[in-house]
Amino acid sequence: MPVRKICIIGLDDYPQLVDPGSPRSVGGESVQHALLARAWRDLGLDVSIIVRDHGQGRVTQVDGMRVVAAYGRSEGLPMLRFAHPRMTRLIAAMREIDADVYYQSPSAADTGVTAWFCRRHGKRAVIRIVSDLGCLPGRQLIRYWRDRRLYEYGLHNAHLLTVQSEQQRRLLQVHYRLSSEIVNMAVEWPQEAPVAKDIEVLWTANLRPVKRPEVVLELARRLPHVRFTMAGGRLPGEEACFAAIMREAQELPNVTCLGAVAYSEIGRLFARAKLFLNTSLIEGFPNTFLQAWIRGVPVVTFFDPDRLVHTCGLGSTAQTIDEMATMLDTLLRDQIRRHALGERARAFAAADFMAPQVAARYLDLLDGQGATTQTRARALRDGTNG
């Protein structure tokens, strides 16, 4: 039976859904949730999203989708708010929506709550792994032991586990003895008009240690003739990292640090860039890679998901900072090669990563029938089983 109602557990999604022009609209998973929600809506599904309460009202409609506020970030008493209002109101919102499928990411206690609710009420839980760290016991970016145990319960009790790469699939099998399915990340076709390539090297991520923004500053010191543009906001608990990077960046004349940039504006930065730089050592499958590739911008990176950058010619991969500095300098001087890499990257992203294709892939896995997007959309519209 085809999926007719789907609910995304995306507590941080509300700013991205209603105001992508706001600097509050940051976070790769919120971008993915918004793209998938609209793609599932366009395929004829009844889509709901559970978010935090920002004062918008209990239930609102956004682009034909139902948005339900579960609780506010600061509601409840310290030490007690985990149980109430957070878990009780999340479960109440899930029960109220009564979807066929509940989709949750990233790694959190909510992973376990989603799986528990679905098992108890005969629903299906789709859990998506965001980072390689989500597959490594004790390495997840989850603060409390209690929340890590709930997350692992969710992994073991999901109806469908999806990952971003073969690497993640292997890690889940090795560390948790769990099977999973690879589903690509989603990207949308650029909306901005063509602009001049006036950014030499672009780096964008939330400013936190795992993203290694300090490496950008070291590269800038080694390449004083190259201009680097950094874009990224601060995360709660990472204020010291943000302040330190901003302070050091001000001392380098070839670094521009923009701070938080809204999702609606980030595409223009990618369009202006000659190269995109990634300095993390561990990721999942970065949204930023797709945002660069779909605009014909090669990436220079340490992290290479399933060696795609290397084997498909989508940019350059480095092992050391010295290698990365050499690659950046070489590619900036070689416009012909840079253009060829960019065009190959654009074709790669457009072939398999567009949001409608990715949304349909989830439905294929859930219904197990391999129905085409067109067949499913027609069946849902006509009220048949396809």
Low-confidence ranges of the chain (pLDDT < 50): 369-386
pLDDT of residue 21: 61
The per-residue pLDDT for range 188-231, each reduced to its tens digit, is 999 888 899 999 999 999 888 989 999 999 999 999 999 999 99
The per-residue pLDDT for range 250-281, each reduced to its tens digit, is 999 999 999 888 888 899 999 999 999 999 98
pLDDT of residue 156: 97
pLDDT of residue 93: 96
pTM score: 0.85
pLDDT of residue 242: 85
List the 199-204 sheet strands across, edge first: 255-257, 228-231, 199-204, 273-278, 299-301, 315-317
Domains of the chain, earliest start first: 5-186+354-382 (3.40.50.2000), 199-352 (3.40.50.2000)
What lies within 8 Å, CB to CB, of 250 at 6+ separation is 257
